[in-house]
Amino acid sequence: MAIRALVWGENIHERKNKAVAQIYPRGMHQAIADALNAGPGIHAETATLEQPDHGITPERLAQTDVLLWWGHAAHGEVSDAVTQMVCDAVWSGMGAIFLHSAHFSKPFKRLMGAPCNLTWREAGERERVWLTTRSHPIAAGLPDHFELENEEMYGEPFGVPEPLETVFVSWFQGGEVFRSGLTWRRGAGNVFYFRPGHETYPTYHDATVQTVLRNAVTWAHNPAPRLADPSDAPNVPVTRALEPISERGPRLHPDGETGYH
Amino acid sequence: MAIRALVWGENIHERKNKAVAQIYPRGMHQAIADALNAGPGIHAETATLEQPDHGITPERLAQTDVLLWWGHAAHGEVSDAVTQMVCDAVWSGMGAIFLHSAHFSKPFKRLMGAPCNLTWREAGERERVWLTTRSHPIAAGLPDHFELENEEMYGEPFGVPEPLETVFVSWFQGGEVFRSGLTWRRGAGNVFYFRPGHETYPTYHDATVQTVLRNAVTWAHNPAPRLADPSDAPNVPVTRALEPISERGPRLHPDGETGYH
Amino acid sequence: MAIRALVWGENIHERKNKAVAQIYPRGMHQAIADALNAGPGIHAETATLEQPDHGITPERLAQTDVLLWWGHAAHGEVSDAVTQMVCDAVWSGMGAIFLHSAHFSKPFKRLMGAPCNLTWREAGERERVWLTTRSHPIAAGLPDHFELENEEMYGEPFGVPEPLETVFVSWFQGGEVFRSGLTWRRGAGNVFYFRPGHETYPTYHDATVQTVLRNAVTWAHNPAPRLADPSDAPNVPVTRALEPISERGPRLHPDGETGYH
Amino acid sequence: MAIRALVWGENIHERKNKAVAQIYPRGMHQAIADALNAGPGIHAETATLEQPDHGITPERLAQTDVLLWWGHAAHGEVSDAVTQMVCDAVWSGMGAIFLHSAHFSKPFKRLMGAPCNLTWREAGERERVWLTTRSHPIAAGLPDHFELENEEMYGEPFGVPEPLETVFVSWFQGGEVFRSGLTWRRGAGNVFYFRPGHETYPTYHDATVQTVLRNAVTWAHNPAPRLADPSDAPNVPVTRALEPISERGPRLHPDGETGYH
């Protein structure tokens, strides 16, 4: 069965900025979804900010194996409710891939617990993406490095928690470096951040970038059944203890209480 | 100069529950602060939930090297503003130590980006805390294991991100295990979670536990100057690029713009 | 195509000790291989210490996707040449699973770069293995905990490097704990350590243990093409630099030199 | 009490190559030791390859808090006995800092358990070292980046295990990147790799590099008492089990046996 991907896009620059609209006439989200659908094994749909609930409901997330997120101008317009929904879905096992300026999106910042800041420059300079671990599944089929002739610069320090793995590090023409491919796990969900993708350049039309996106979706997919309540903290009463014990000492919680959350 | 610790306590059970009040007549926060002040090199004060702004202001956090947090019954009463203040302070370099039921506190959950859930049982059973890494600074002066004759059980799976280091793992009489000492870094701040400390048992009067707390404060202290704005994402204009580059291609941001956050 | 597993066994206790021979009449390696072959998608063969070159050649390892290793009495008899072959194969992308007393095997110690020591007791006591991360692929289909009524005890501190992920932690009846499922990556190879499996108990006949082994083989398999020379350190001459540079300053290496290794 | 550092140098290029001898007339090891001794709190001595036992004995390592290692041309001449001595000392709590071409030294490769390979070019090009984590103790007092006008290039992929923390990433003029400051822990010992320091350039005379070296020595120092036998794997007999258990089932080891290693 195909992996079900959902590409979330802000869909603002594409409608308001001519340069962006020319590159992505049907929106960045659609270009990304098309790239995912071009390969076997992935079925990608889209959702956008201006839709009701930003196109995101618990039911839709329950049917999503991997969510991809691109946002930039309107991070603040994403509701807290949708942000929490996304976090809950990740914790229950949905994969999540955050693209480029989504480093400052609400769901990414919430999942990282860190400032997620960086330095930046919009000058269309050359970016060269290097593999730091040659045979990582996200790097399948890639050469040791690939170039994007025009990209926005993002520079270190990148304010994220130490990753599980560093997969890519970028070189920039203007003199900076950036850890541009990083993995984490949050609850049962695999999380990947991938740096390239400024809206004024045709990055998501690049064949190597598209390979990375497809690899990342495959990697992020956790085939385990989704956890029903990923924040559940069940009480295990004495009578059901695995080793025989007797209750001792003072108690705060009467029997059957569910605890404080 | 002494490390400046601030012990934050909910101070509810101590006033409402006789068993707790007998063990901690001046509050758990005060018992912890006393333990920290008993050793050299740490100066500890306290703050509690019922104080204005829960006793926490940006100014006070700026003067705090390490914050310790104990909460249980009233996680939901901690304001979002104070939660964000604590996260900002950690990101700027303040150490943070979360104790026992603070696994479900707002600041801890926000810093972890994960559900932070577990299983639990209040039966006064025996806990044996094992070192998993013998010479870690948080374990300085400790034997390979120590016992707490009466403790609440917390069981795996513990829903936190993979730590930088696992320092302690606990054995419980009723048959469970728990990773009871874990470290992370968030921004410039060192974070430590330490499991023991249920309010109905005299855990914070235990000499070994007090050693762990003092060690943890010393470990969590980052002597680097506090970052002024830990979420700052500065633009680096082309004219100040470290290598000579010329601007190319379309642009979204006019000169001097600060970017989207 | 099936994942090609190779189960390496010392095959000493099975021939010299009656208790072991009764439990594993065809050897522990064969019992493990049978368990792997019982499920779909894995084809397992065996190799043993007493065979020429311990049954291991570079050619055979090149045809092996995942190597499983069980040793105990004769770690010292494994040749340095075979040890290096195994390390090279792992670095080039072969998965490796080390079982129980293989914590002290030459290949595991070489891949870890650490003492790999622990405490132990052979008393047939109860071990309860807990999941620390509920939806990890190695834990697919498992309950939150499972029991082995008779096992050797291994206790912390376990002298291994911090893992990428802690998958299992064990509780022992006699009062110890142990991180019994840990993952690492070495070069292109995925490495898993799994604790249970003392030779005098029927652990590898346990259905849940067999599920873990099959899961672990699937997880450890890296489908990327095997790296031809995983230790290669190529010179990139100035004339092939990706950005135009001129040679400057004094030099140690004449043109075409391969560098020191 | 001052931290006791020992700077180990190969001392070959300095004697055989005029360019190197001019930059480091008393040897690279002495230049590094001088830089360490220039600051407060560190007392540094030196040892070199041509000395008996390469200047390294168990007694001397027992008196060493942090070992720094620079080698290039003669990795193969370092004896296996000294390599094992260094690993044992690290496991028992000695800090270790590996410099530049020491990525291919025997002790580093043994501690990493990985190929430790990279790409390289000797062209005197510009290296710019970026901090990836702003307030790490190894980066104390440093700006967000610093430059070395002439350095050898090292490029990714760098074949080391995922570090605990990535502290520095380098940009190279010719188009490569490299994770140039990485931390690990092996046993009780802190390990740091620092990339800069090609022998034909005056890198170790650079004030910022000297600051990094002093910071790294302070960071790597583990004040815990050195472990007497870091590979010890003690038996815990049934009679000394922490919880009362009875021996059950078949046994392999008679009483008092020390186990297989």
Average pLDDT over residues D14-43: 95
CB contacts of A169 in chain D (<8 Å) are 156, 169, 177, 179
The model's pTM: 0.97
Q: Does D120 reach chain A within 8 Å, measured CB to CB?
A: no
d(CA B244, CA A175): 9
User: Angle at Cα D163 formed by Cα A87 and Cα C104, nearest 5°?
Assistant: 110
Split at pLDDT 50, 70, 90, the class of B119 is: very high
CB atoms within 10 A of CB A29: 27
**Phi, psi (degrees; rounded to nearest 5) at B257:** -70, 150
Rounded mean pLDDT of chain D? 96
Give the residue among B143, B137, B218, B151 at the shortest CA–CA distance from B180.
Answer: B151
Nearest-by-CA chain C residue for D74: C260
Beta carbons of B48 and B30 less than 8 angstroms apart: no
Angle at C232 between CA C227 and CA C237, to 5 degrees: 125
**Which residue in chain A has the smallest CA separation from B71?**
A260
User: Given a cut of 70, is residue A169 above it in pLDDT?
Assistant: yes
pLDDT in tens, A205-260: 999 999 999 999 999 999 999 999 999 999 999 999 999 999 998 877 766 566 66
Asked if D226 contacts D92 with a C-beta cutoff of 8 angstroms, the reply is yes
Among chain C residues, CA nearest to B158:
C132
Q: Are A230 and B159 within 8 A, CB to CB? A: yes
Residue of A nearest to D118 (CA): A132
Q: What is the distance between the alpha carbons of residues D261 and D259, in angstroms, rounded to a whole number?
A: 7
| DSSP code per residue over B30-58 | HHHHHHHHHSTTEEEEEEETTSGGGG--H
Nearest CA distance, B66 vs chain C (angstrom): 25
Residue D202 sits at the chain A interface (C-beta within 8 Å): no
Least Cα distance to C77 among C37, C52, C49 occurs for C49
Judged against a pLDDT cut of 60, whether residue B174 lies above it is answered with: yes
Query: Taking residues D115-133, what's their average pLDDT?
Result: 97
CA dist A5 and A1 (Å) reads: 12
Tokens 């941001």, located at residue: B253
Mean pLDDT of D26-40: 96
Minimal CA–CA distance to B261: which of B228, B229, B227, B233? B233
Contact status of D185 with chain B (Cβ, < 8 Å): yes
Q: How confident is the model at residue C261 (pLDDT cuts 50, 70, 90)?
A: low
CA A150/CA A147 separation, integer angstroms: 9
Chains contacting B with at least 3 CB pairs below 8 Å?
A, C, D
**pLDDT of the residue at A249:** 83
Closest Cα to residue B29, out of B95, B97, B81, B92?
B97
- Cβ pairs B/D, distance under 8 A: 40
Identify from C130, C131, C135, C149 which residue to disrupt to test chain A contact, counting A C-beta atoms within 10 A and taking the largest count: C135
Rounded alpha-carbon distances, angstroms, from residue D28 to A171, A188, B251, D151, D220 = 30, 50, 49, 15, 21
Other CB atoms within a 10 A radius of the CB of residue A164 amount to 19
Q: Of B73, B70, B92, which Cα lies nearest the Cα of B16?
A: B73
- Smallest CA-to-CA distance from A110 within A76, A136, A83, A85 is with A83
CA-nearest residue to D164 within chain C is C162
pLDDT of residue D1: 84
Rounded (5°) CA angle C162-A160-D219? 50
Q: How many CB atoms lie within 10 A of CB D91?
A: 25
Average pLDDT value over all residues in chain B: 95
Q: Give the pLDDT band (50/70/90) at residue C122.
A: very high
The answer to whether residues B203 and B148 touch, using CB atoms and an 8 Å cutoff, is yes
pLDDT at residue B39, rounded to an integer: 85
Q: What is the DSSP string of C118-142?
A: -EEEEEEEEEEEEESSTT-GGGTT-
Residue C258 has pLDDT above 80, yes or no: no
Q: pLDDT tens for residues C147-204?
A: 999 999 999 999 999 999 999 999 999 999 999 999 999 999 999 999 999 999 999 9
With contacts defined as CB-CB under 8 Å, which chain B residues touch A13?
Answer: 252
- Mutation pick from D126, D135, D172, D242 vs chain B, by most beta carbons of B within 10 Å, is D135
Strand A119-131 versus strand B95-99 pairing type: unpaired
Structure confidence at residue D205 (pLDDT): 98
The pairing of beta strand B177-186 with beta strand B189-194: antiparallel
Give the Cα separation of D92 and C77 in Å (integer): 26
Task: Note whether B200 contacts A251, CB cutoff 8 Å.
Answer: yes
pLDDT at B20: 94
Tell me, letter by letter, the H, E, C secondary structure of chain D. CCEEEEEEECCCHHHHCHHHHHHCCCCHHHHHHHHHHHCCCEEEEEEECCCHHHHCCHHHHHCCCEEEEECCCCHHHCCHHHHHHHHHHHHHCCEEEEEHHHHHCHHHHHHHCCCCCCEEEEEEEEEEEEECCCCCHHHCCCCCEEEEEEEEEEECCCCCCCCCEEEEEEEECCCCEEEEEEEEEECCEEEEEECCCCCCCCHHHCHHHHHHHHHHHHHHCCCCCCCCCCCCCCECCHHHCCCCCCCCCCCCCCCCCCCCC
Identify the burial level of B134 via C-beta atoms within 10 angstroms of its C-beta, where 0-12 means exposed, 13-18 middle and 19 or more buried. Answer: middle
Reading the block at residue C255, the tokens are 């043109």
Q: Region of B55 please: left (phi>0), alpha (psi -120 to 50) or beta.
A: left
- The pLDDT of A71-84, averaged and rounded, is 97
**What percentage of chain D carries pLDDT values higher than 70?**
97
Highest mean pLDDT among B54-58, B248-252, C250-254: B54-58
- Taking the C-alpha atoms of residue C43 and residue B13, their distance in angstroms, rounded to an integer, is 59
Residues of A in contact with B73 (CB under 8 A): 260
Measured between CA atoms, how close is D73 to chain B, in angstroms? 34
According to the model, what pLDDT value does residue A260 have? 64
Enter the DSSP assignment of A13: H
Whole-angstrom CA distances from A44 to A38, A67, A223, B95, C157 are 10, 9, 17, 42, 47
Q: Which range, of A82-96, A121-135, C245-259, D16-30, averages the lowest pLDDT?
A: C245-259
**DSSP structural state of residue C176:** -
Spatial distance between the Cα atoms of A223 and A227, rounded to a whole number of angstroms: 11
Instruction: Classify C24 in phi/psi space as left (phi over 0), alpha (psi -120 to 50) or beta.
Output: beta
Residue B46 has pLDDT above 60, yes or no: yes
Cβ atoms within 10 Å, residue D240: 9
- pLDDT for residue B132: 97
Average pLDDT over residues A41-56: 97
Q: How far apart are the first and last CA of chain A?
A: 38
CB-based contact (8 Å) between D177 and chain B?
A: no
pLDDT for C39 equals 85
- Measured between CB atoms, does D134 come within 8 Å of chain B? yes
Alpha-carbon distance of D143 to B242, in angstroms, equals 14
